[in-house]
A and B are shown apart, each in its own frame.
Chain A
């Protein structure tokens, strides 16, 4: 190729870059775009074999966008939307958990991802966390498509603090050993999201928030009642023992 040819290619390339940059700027924040922002995808290829891994972080932006899109699609009233939002948030259990959706499209060697809770972890700051719960279907070997939710505790079990407070990044790492196609390529499957602008509290407003808070308070009340019953039982047991001891003392006093 001559120098002139190369020079014209570079010009074409530069123009193409500018055009794509303009397209990118004009790319509205549609649901698709929001989904792409929070649904990270990695494709591992080995010739004609391939494996696609997608991991979704449920940010407030994504949840709102999905709910809104569903409402627009079905022409819901505000009340119907609130009910759907309630069910959605209840399923994700965002108030207590950090849910992650994991999807695989495996057109490669059979994957062996179980026990899945040992194959995935979440890093926030300098700490790494294992799942608190996950879809057990992810334990089984498969080819083709499979997806499931994985839940991490939102609150540190020791300190009770929200582990996302003050953090900027969430990282999910999958063991390369789950698939021969990842392992043989020498790559780690890692996904991260910048979450400093994510504000889950936005989700908890209006009627849905009232219902969710009601649920939480009812649950709390149940726990308190249970605690009270336990304490009452313990108190009764102590009282009974005091009575028994006192009776025995009285008996002994009569003997002496």
Chain B
């Protein structure tokens, strides 16, 4: 009975989910050249099929549905669903469906198989929902004159409990090469969760010619891609030119050793009349064109260049009454180069240089620059700690999504940096992180200091020390002490950049 033998062969494949390793076939009446020889041998070795007392298998003899159901039932016990492929599991599921009544009569439970198959089928057909909750308890000295607050909202309060972030992320595979992704986020900190918004919303697809194409509300982090910044501990912040969002298209393609990335879109996340305020505007005043080329000469050395052009819709200078100064309304051009050299896989030296042409924008310096040098040492080298040492120098007129008011801050203070002013700010960032062997414990130390080189802003120093405990992959506890000394700058109002702040932060991070 051909069907019976086919069932055997299929079951053999599914049950062991491995290339059919030849097993010695114990049945004298199954010839070695027979197509089912290996399958029958394998099933016999696992006790799924048995022969007759005379040592014969009698493969040509008709089988009842109960006999076939029995084979499937024994295979269900043996099957390694974790190793079986989607196709194999589907095959077994078909067999289960075919012999459902007989299996029911035999009292075989197939729930676990259904569950496994559902998991696989779900991959291409279903919506994947993930989430992140970072719940913070913050205890502060509140000595920063109420201006450079660590707190969630605009009003500084000593002790705060609330969400640093609450996010929901959804992925949906449309086909094997295309998926849709969005991230909804909340960061009001406390009170009603009434400020949800989507900061990612795009479709990613792989086009012919191995071109990765992304369209929608996109996020680019060229600086992070090249390993050019280290985050301020506990937050995503750190880079000078990062967190750039735009509505448009992004193309990525590799040509041998050369990686190319092209973006075209409308940028709503940079420097319109809301720039410098605590919220970004949605005025969407710029068309944006960007090109990045990175040459990977070897595993140890890469060199990149990038250019971004922001084409402003208007050409008139506007005075922002709230900020009390004129804001950017003209085109902006930015050019940059960066490189990385690894002495060994554990130690790398990197640097970047950015230069901008701000056209007729009302700033002190119309061609500001920024540069940085950094040393990245992995824990594998020093054993007891990793080490990140970075020096950043940046003109105060340098503009970007995260420029100027970036350093140093751990809790996103409502601090307007000296954007558009004269002078150059200089920052040192030193971070040492330790993973304690194979345990769930980790710790870190971070020192960050910025010399703003501006009348209204004094040197700012920040020290952070903390420990983390990865309780489970889903839950992490994180305890940090942070001290910021804002100095005694001479500014007033929103720029009253003085005082200091001590904060103890206990975070519970939950990912699902």
A residues near B (Cβ < 8 Å) are: 1, 5-6, 9-10, 13, 16-17, 20-21, 23-25, 27, 32-33, 36-37, 45-49, 106-110, 112, 114-115, 118, 123, 125-126, 128, 133, 135-137, 139-141, 143-145, 169, 171, 175-177, 180, 183-188, 192-194, 226, 229
A186 to B130 alpha-carbon distance, docked (Å): 17
Determine the residue in chain A with the shortest Cβ distance to B477. Answer: A48
Interface status of B212 (Cβ within 8 A of chain A): yes
Interface status of B159 (Cβ within 8 A of chain A): no
A125 to B210 alpha-carbon distance, docked (Å): 12
CB pair B428–A9 under 8 Å, yes or no, is yes
User: Which of A109, A143, A188 lies in contact with B132, CB distance below 8 A?
Assistant: A109
Enumerate chain B residues within 8 angstroms of A188, measured Cβ to Cβ.
212, 252
19 A–B pairs (Cβ distance < 8 Å), ordered by A: A6-B451, A9-B428, A17-B375, A27-B344, A27-B346, A36-B344, A36-B346, A47-B509, A49-B509, A110-B128, A112-B171, A141-B119, A143-B473, A144-B472, A176-B204, A180-B130, A185-B224, A186-B218, A194-B298
A225 to B408 alpha-carbon distance, docked (Å): 74
A175 to B174 alpha-carbon distance, docked (Å): 14
Stretch from B41-49, B81-89, B145-153, B489-497 that touches the partner = B81-89
Enumerate chain B residues within 8 angstroms of A176, measured Cβ to Cβ.
204
CB pair A47–B345 under 8 Å, yes or no, is no
Chain B interface residue count, CB cutoff 8 Å, equals 79
Determine the residue in chain A with the shortest Cβ distance to B245. Answer: A186
CB pair B373–A106 under 8 Å, yes or no, is no
Enumerate chain A residues within 8 angstroms of B192, measured Cβ to Cβ.
none
- Compute the total of residue contacts between A and B using a CB distance below 8 Å: 175
CB pair A193–B219 under 8 Å, yes or no, is no
CB pair A10–B181 under 8 Å, yes or no, is no
CB pair A1–B344 under 8 Å, yes or no, is no
Enumerate chain B residues within 8 angstroms of A128, measured Cβ to Cβ.
210
Interface status of B391 (Cβ within 8 A of chain A): yes
Stretch from B63-71, B99-107, B231-239, B352-360 that touches the partner = B231-239
A184 to B182 alpha-carbon distance, docked (Å): 8
User: Which of B85, B256, B449, B468 lies in contact with A1, CB distance below 8 A?
Assistant: B449
Determine the residue in chain B with the shortest Cβ distance to A36. Answer: B345
Main secondary structure of the interface of A (DSSP, over half): mixed
Interface status of B55 (Cβ within 8 A of chain A): no
CB pair B33–A143 under 8 Å, yes or no, is no
Interface status of B325 (Cβ within 8 A of chain A): no
Enumerate chain B residues within 8 angstroms of A106, measured Cβ to Cβ.
473
CB pair A1–B459 under 8 Å, yes or no, is yes
Interface status of B213 (Cβ within 8 A of chain A): no
CB pair B345–A33 under 8 Å, yes or no, is yes
Interface status of B194 (Cβ within 8 A of chain A): no
User: Which of B82, B124, B134, B470 lies in contact with A47, CB distance below 8 A?
Assistant: B134
Determine the residue in chain A with the shortest Cβ distance to B176. Answer: A118
Closest 6 CB pairs of A and B: A1-B451, A109-B130, A24-B343, A144-B473, A36-B345, A143-B473
A229 to B206 alpha-carbon distance, docked (Å): 46
Interface status of B313 (Cβ within 8 A of chain A): no
CB pair A187–B224 under 8 Å, yes or no, is yes
Determine the residue in chain A with the shortest Cβ distance to B250. Answer: A186
Q: A110-B512, A112-B123, A140-B119 are in contact. Are A46 and B132 (CB under 8 A)?
A: yes
CB pair B468–A48 under 8 Å, yes or no, is yes
Q: A36-B345, A110-B130 are in contact. Are A140 and B210 (CB under 8 A)?
A: no
Q: A46-B236, A183-B204 are in contact. Are A136 and B343 (CB under 8 A)?
A: no
Enumerate chain A residues within 8 angstroms of B315, measured Cβ to Cβ.
none
Determine the residue in chain A with the shortest Cβ distance to B393. Answer: A6
A27 to B343 alpha-carbon distance, docked (Å): 10
Enumerate chain B residues within 8 angstroms of A192, measured Cβ to Cβ.
296, 299
CB pair A184–B296 under 8 Å, yes or no, is no
**Closest chain A CB from B322 CB (angstroms):** 30
